[in-house]
Amino acid sequence: MVIVWDYEERSVKGSHEIHKVRVEDVCFSRDSNYLISLGGRDDGNIVIWDVIKNEAMCGAFASNEIAGNAFIISRTNNRDKCFVTAGDNTFKVWRIDPASRKVHGVNVKVGKLRRSINCIAIDERDENAYCGTSSGDIIRARLNYHRDLAHTEPVRNPIMIGCYSKIPKDLKKMKAGEGELYAGGVRVVLLLKDGRIIVGAGDGTVDLVEIIENDINVTNKSVKLPNAPRIQSYLTENVTGSITSIELLGTQFILVGTSRCEIYQLKLSNFDMRLLVTCHTSAIYDIAFPHNYSEVFATGSTNDIRLWCLETQKELLRIAVPNFVCSSLCFSYDGKMIISAWNDGIIRAFAAQTGILVFLIHNAHIKAVSAVGITKDGKKIISGGCDGQVRIWDIRPNVQRLSAVLKEHRGAVTSLHISQNDENAISSSTDGTCIIWDLTLATRKKVLMGNTMYMSSRFSPNGVQILTCGTDRKIAFWETLDGLMVREIEGSTAGSLNCLDIGPDGQHFVTGSNDCIVKLWDYDSAETTHIGMGHAAIITACKFSPDGRCIVTVSADGAIMIWECPFISQFEETRIDKCSDSVATQSTCSIREEAWN
């Protein structure tokens, strides 16, 4: 589906579903009178949408029967009715004819050369097109347009001028006429006004280059190569991940986007690099705040744990554990450690300020560790696994010893929560039970049963009640003392509830579900007070900040969203009165404030 939006009105201007299965690329014409869209391999069509009349004008097959699939579009800079498409062994120049409601294309002559083109950049005068290929070289083609801009049809057939590679540093390769290719292919090409080119490669290389007009001297050329070494590199920098986009920022900087969800800023004069934006590259499974400290929070995902600043949304620390998934994490009470659960069955503890591994518990569970928590005194870690067991660990400076194994659940443990007094813990499971455990005696106290797979459970701040949610879309209120259900409400009409959290004052709670909606509830009346719609995937975790001012939610697409809580919690008002001496953050955290600056 292709949707045209009115940016000022923030509304849909028009849409169509002419393409089948997939849309590869979209592009506006120079004056934005036409929207060109390109279908995927199941469709293979170009559709021209008249933006003014808000209707489809015409369409055509993007490539010939003997050619491959086209998957990129680039508009010309001086002609509103012209554009270029390219792809796997296809390279065509198009013109739109509004009078006959047709679009005409002509192939660019490339001879015997066979390339898969990843990107196109056209110069300001519409004379040359520069194409980055998956082979790691750059094709330059002459478009052969007439000097008169009113002529939209090329005077002669467009033709390839040359295929160029980098001038090698090795003298032997230079004498043989062998050029260097960009590893991972050329993904992005950006033309500068002075004629130089910014090249982004699949291996994360960003190059400032220029194509020289004369061939280098070759003394021993035994084989005719498909590309000529004419690309002279001036500045080079490497970023993490494959380059996906490069944009000019003013006249001094460029922005570089990567496949690792990162945006870098590079200065053109010296290629000084600075990381601007970063995020997780896959689903996020848990969030954790330090005790009584709302300035930072941690998230756990595949391959890493990241520490974020709540106010600036900047990444403070990244702890990498390649090829494994962090399913749960929590801070120690003093804020010095991050205890994390991983799908390889290991519990890992890291220093919160440096990310150094403090200790790890091998084979903490037979299967993956799915939930973890720590008592306030820091002497016990409670963990839950996909094997259904809840285990209690005694933590000492030099040794971590298994204290008790609680075998009651028959399904995977989905969440763990420790009461405020550290005497009880509650675990939820996919077997349809939530169990309240006595941590002192390491025994079961109460079992909460329901016709659902419980996904999350939480003690209220005063420890009197318990909230649970699960796949039946219900939120249940339970008494901690006798384990009886006192209330049950419908939390969602569309999808299962995956997570919930109670505010620090106990007046409100928040839920996240498979319908991608965040809901804020009043605890006493059990009514929805606010709804947040912004996630594009299922919500996997939600958490109140300790001061109750913000709500952080994460989803399966790796997004982190920070919501301003509409209520000022009583807990926050009391805490500010008691902690008025902390001018910087109004915080009583044991982590020193200046350590995070």
Binned at pLDDT 50, 70 and 90, residue 170 comes out as confident
Structure confidence at residue 407 (pLDDT)? 93
Structure confidence at residue 276 (pLDDT)? 92
Structure confidence at residue 396 (pLDDT)? 87
Mean pLDDT to the nearest integer, 474-480? 95
Binned at pLDDT 50, 70 and 90, residue 227 comes out as confident
Instruction: Give the torsion through C-alpha atoms of 331, 332, 337, 338, to 10 deg.
Output: -30
Q: What is the pLDDT of residues 443-452, one digit of tens each?
A: 999 999 999 9
**Amino acid present at 573:** E
The answer to whether 89 and 80 have CB atoms below 8 angstroms apart is: no
pLDDT for residue 546 is more than 80: yes
**Best CA proximity match to 165, nearest among 211, 207, 206, 97:** 211
**CA geometry: angle at 172 spanning 170 and 173, to 5°?**
70
Structure confidence at residue 216 (pLDDT)? 63
Cβ neighbours of 211 (radius 10 Å): 18
**Overall size of the chain counted in residues:** 597
Cα 360 versus chain centre, distance: 28
Mean pLDDT to the nearest integer, 268-291? 94
pLDDT for residue 494 is more than 90: no
pLDDT for residue 234 is more than 90: yes
Q: Give the separation between CA 359 and CA 393, rounded to whole angstroms.
A: 13
Q: Which segment of 140-144, 213-217, 378-382, 433-437 scores lowest on mean pLDDT? A: 213-217
Mean pLDDT of the chain: 90
**Amino acid present at 155:** V
Structure confidence at residue 213 (pLDDT)? 83
The answer to whether 384 and 427 have CB atoms below 8 angstroms apart is: yes
pLDDT for residue 172 is more than 60: yes
Structure confidence at residue 531 (pLDDT)? 94
Structure confidence at residue 65 (pLDDT)? 78
Q: Which domains does the chain have, with CATH numbers?
A: 284-578 (2.130.10.10)
Under DSSP, the state recorded for 589 is -
Tell me the two tokens of residue 293.
Answer: 């400290």
E strands present in 88-169: 90-97, 102-107, 117-122, 128-133, 138-142, 159-166
* Residue labelled with tokens 């059990």: 526
Mean pLDDT to the nearest integer, 7-26? 92
Q: What is the pLDDT of residues 503-519, one digit of tens each?
A: 999 999 999 999 999 99
**Amino acid present at 325:** V
Binned at pLDDT 50, 70 and 90, residue 437 comes out as very high
**Best CA proximity match to 509, nearest among 519, 495, 494:** 519
Binned at pLDDT 50, 70 and 90, residue 168 comes out as confident
pLDDT for residue 104 is more than 90: yes
pLDDT for residue 565 is more than 80: yes
Where is pLDDT greater, at 471 or 169? 471
Cα 198 versus chain centre, distance: 25
pLDDT for residue 221 is more than 90: no
Structure confidence at residue 580 (pLDDT)? 43
Q: Give the separation between CA 124 and CA 376, rounded to whole angstroms.
A: 64
Tell me the two tokens of residue 520.
Answer: 């804020």
Beta-carbon-side half-sphere exposure of residue 390 (alpha carbons within 13 Å): 29
Structure confidence at residue 321 (pLDDT)? 95
Burial profile 323-349: b = 16 or more Cβ within 10 angstroms, e = fewer:
ebbbbbbbbbbebbbbbbbbbbbbbbb
Distance (Å) of CA 213 to CA 207, 210, 354, 516, 525 = 19, 9, 51, 55, 76
pLDDT for residue 267 is more than 70: yes
Percentage of residues of the chain with pLDDT beyond 70? 92
Structure confidence at residue 589 (pLDDT)? 31
Helix runs in 139-216, H state only: 171-176
Bridge pairing between strands 228-238 and 159-166 = parallel
Q: Give the separation between CA 354 and CA 595, rounded to whole angstroms.
A: 11
Mean pLDDT to the nearest integer, 96-118? 93
pLDDT for residue 101 is more than 70: yes
Q: Which segment of 58-62, 129-133, 468-472, 574-578 scores lowest on mean pLDDT? A: 574-578
The answer to whether 198 and 187 have CB atoms below 8 angstroms apart is: no
Mean pLDDT to the nearest integer, 418-447? 94
Tell me the two tokens of residue 72.
Answer: 């990129």
Binned at pLDDT 50, 70 and 90, residue 575 comes out as low
Q: What share of the chain is helix, strand, coil (3-state, %, to 5)?
A: 5, 55, 45
Mean pLDDT to the nearest integer, 105-124? 93
E strands present in 365-514: 369-374, 380-385, 389-395, 400-407, 413-418, 424-429, 433-438, 443-449, 454-459, 465-470, 474-479, 485-490, 497-502, 508-513
Q: Give the separation between CA 268 and CA 198, rounded to whole angstroms.
A: 10
pLDDT for residue 90 is more than 80: yes
pTM: 0.83
pLDDT for residue 574 is more than 70: no
Structure confidence at residue 588 (pLDDT)? 29
pLDDT for residue 120 is more than 60: yes
